Amino acid sequence: QSALTQPASVSGSPGQSITISCTGTYADVGANNYVSWYQQHPGKAPRLLIYDVSTRPSGVSSRFSGSRSGNTASLTISGLQADDEADYYCSPYTRSNTLLFGGGTKLTVL
Amino acid sequence: EVHLLESGGGLVQPGRSLRLSCAASGFTFNNYAMSWVRQAPGKGLEWVSGITGSGGSTSYGDSVKGRFTISRDNSKNTLYLQMTSLRAEDTAVYYCAKVLWSDDSLHLGPYDSWGQGTLVTVSS
């Protein structure tokens, strides 16, 4: 069981926006600016969406954005598309120099 | 194009050992830290271990510390994970992952490239 809290599931209709939260502590999510988000489609490897809290790698759509307030990081997906249906994981680098992953959130596009 | 190909997974009895490999291509392998991340069936991701580009520094998750050893052969562009004293709870798909940053620090993420994974099943 992950020490980070993500909602087990979220849903939205095409074109809408959703936000996935990732709540931790000052020792992980709130420790530094090293929070990443990954997308994983069933049977596939994870894909990096966001790093350093809010930076998008090249090739990632601007529909994906990241933010943080205190010990909670958030991933927002705007203009939902069918292909966004996947699992999403947050991943902070901790004060104890280890890496954590959240328990994952299943996004359903209605 | 970056390509990571894991191999070495399979069915192994509890208490036995197994070595995973990850063949890398498409980038200057020794410039990048690498990690192993695993995913138990139907579960989330779990960071396992990381190593610097030179191989000089390593780090392990608490659940595998003392049992698993990460290493790399930069002349062969290959990352390894030696797993000993395997337990049922080590059953998972094991991914190798490349860190975004190019230097010799022990970066644990972010991971911009992943392999397709290799399944390790620990069962009698």
Convert the pLDDT of each residue in B47-61 to its tens digit. 999 999 999 999 999
| CB of A103 less than 8 A from some CB of B | yes
pLDDT tens for each residue of A49-95:
999 999 999 999 999 999 999 999 999 999 999 999 999 999 999 99
The fraction of chain A above a pLDDT of 90, given in percent, is 95
Given a cut of 60, whether residue A1 has pLDDT beyond it is no
pLDDT value of position B51: 96
Q: Which residues of A touch B111 (CB under 8 A)?
A: 36, 38, 46, 48
pLDDT value of position A2: 57
Given a cut of 80, whether residue A40 has pLDDT beyond it is yes
CB contact under 8 A, A2 and B44: yes
Q: Which residues of B touch A89 (CB under 8 A)?
A: 44-45
| CB of B95 less than 8 A from some CB of A | yes
| Cβ atoms of residues B38 and B57 within 8 Å | no
pLDDT tens track, chain B, 124 positions: 999 999 999 999 999 999 999 999 999 999 999 999 999 999 999 999 999 999 999 999 999 999 999 999 999 999 999 999 999 999 999 999 999 998 888 888 899 999 999 999 999 9
For B110, which of A48, A100, A104 is closest by C-beta distance?
Answer: A48
DSSP string, B78-95: EEEEEE-S--GGG-EEEE
